[in-house]
Amino acid sequence: MKKKLTPDQQLKKYKKKFRILLSLFIMFLSAVGIYFYLNYDYLVFKHFITGHYIYTEALDSLYSQELKRDVKGKYYNYFDNVVISTVTKAIREVNNDKYTYLYIPERLEEYKRQEKEEASESEIRKLNEKTVYLKLTNYSKYTFKFIKDNIDKLKYKNIIIDLRDNPGGDISVMAKISDYFLPDNSIIAVDKLRFFNWTYKAKRKQILEFDNIVILQNVNSASSSENMIAALNDNLDNVTLIGEKTFGKGIGQYTLSLKKGFAVKATILRWFTPDGINIHGNGIDPDVVFYGDGILEKALEIIEKRDP
């Protein structure tokens, strides 16, 4: 049975709750005050321009140019998006960083559609009794689902992994796919951000083991695809790289969702191979240089020589 409190005990209980609520309210007001203090200039400028600037035709032109839409005088509602667009454009011009920009809603939806369509072109097929062919077209949640759902189809003696024209994608997806090929605790990549480093490691027992792994690459193999090439090549002694020198993109981006369907993408990291190399601007050289048609036959020839 619950003990009944005396009037004095109830009063003390209410006073304690009141002090806690009052402290939380004061903390909230302090946080709001600090936020307004730190952002005073921007907030004042936002209200000043959107509410008082008389050349509205100039604002209409700017908003249309940056956001590809008529905001119908709602300058305040879309001001942050215009600022993000112009700042990221300036960053691209100053640093030649073409990967930092604002996604308008239509462009973001188009990117998502293309990402899904691109992933659907990934392929697994049997080449002979000993060898399977895997083509990865990007690194997205759809690509990972494709690998996860078809993992048993990859259990052959040898594998040819085709990463030609693979522009990359989600680094974490690349790490999860690479995990299938690597021994537990192998380093897959090290991401170096401004304030900390993040190391991707294989987290499971090696599921896919092969006598020979041949990776096909070309100048359009970039970013996460280069990362997977390095992850397998640095950790395993049965990997052969065939084709051309890769693109050389050793940086990574993050896409942050915003209101009203917008998003901003920005370069936030440099990634390093398991051997501690940043390949940005350099790419990865093949073991066997090969241009043009017939590369798949060349890969099978190399495997046949090692495993007659």
SS3 annotation, 166-220: CCCECHHHHHHHHHCCCCCCCEEEEEECCCCEEEEECCCCCCCCCCEEEEEECCC
Q: Which two tokens stand for residue 28?
A: 């909230």
221: three-class secondary structure by DSSP: coil
Cα atoms in the Cβ-side hemisphere of radius 13 Å centred on 241 = 25
124: three-class secondary structure by DSSP: strand
Q: What was the pLDDT predicted at 4?
A: 76
Q: What was the pLDDT predicted at 307?
A: 76
Residues 6+ apart with CB under 8 A from 201: 185, 186, 187, 188
Q: What structural domains does the chain harbor?
A: 13-97 (no CATH), 109-306 (3.90.226.10)
* Exposure class string for 246-277: b at 16+ Cβ within 10 A, else e: bbbbbbbbeeeebeeebbbbbeebbbbbbeee
Burial level of 5, CB count in 10 A (0-12/13-18/19+)? exposed
Q: What was the pLDDT predicted at 2?
A: 61
Cα separation, 271 vs 198, in Å, equals 9
Q: What was the pLDDT predicted at 166?
A: 98
Q: What was the pLDDT predicted at 7?
A: 79
End-to-end CA distance of the chain: 82
Q: What was the pLDDT predicted at 204?
A: 86
Q: pTM for this structure?
A: 0.88
Cα separation, 279 vs 256, in Å, equals 25
Cα separation, 242 vs 230, in Å, equals 13
Q: What was the pLDDT predicted at 1?
A: 55
Q: Which two tokens stand for residue 114?
A: 């293309």
Cα separation, 92 vs 119, in Å, equals 28
pLDDT in tens, the chain (308 residues): 566 778 777 888 888 888 999 999 999 999 999 999 999 999 999 999 999 999 999 999 999 999 999 999 999 999 999 999 999 999 999 988 999 999 999 999 999 999 999 999 999 999 999 999 999 999 999 999 999 999 999 999 999 999 999 999 999 999 999 999 999 999 999 999 999 999 999 998 899 999 999 999 999 999 999 999 999 999 999 999 999 999 999 999 999 999 999 999 999 999 999 999 999 999 999 999 999 899 999 999 999 998 76
- Helix axes of 75-95 and 56-67: crossing angle, nearest 10 degrees: 60
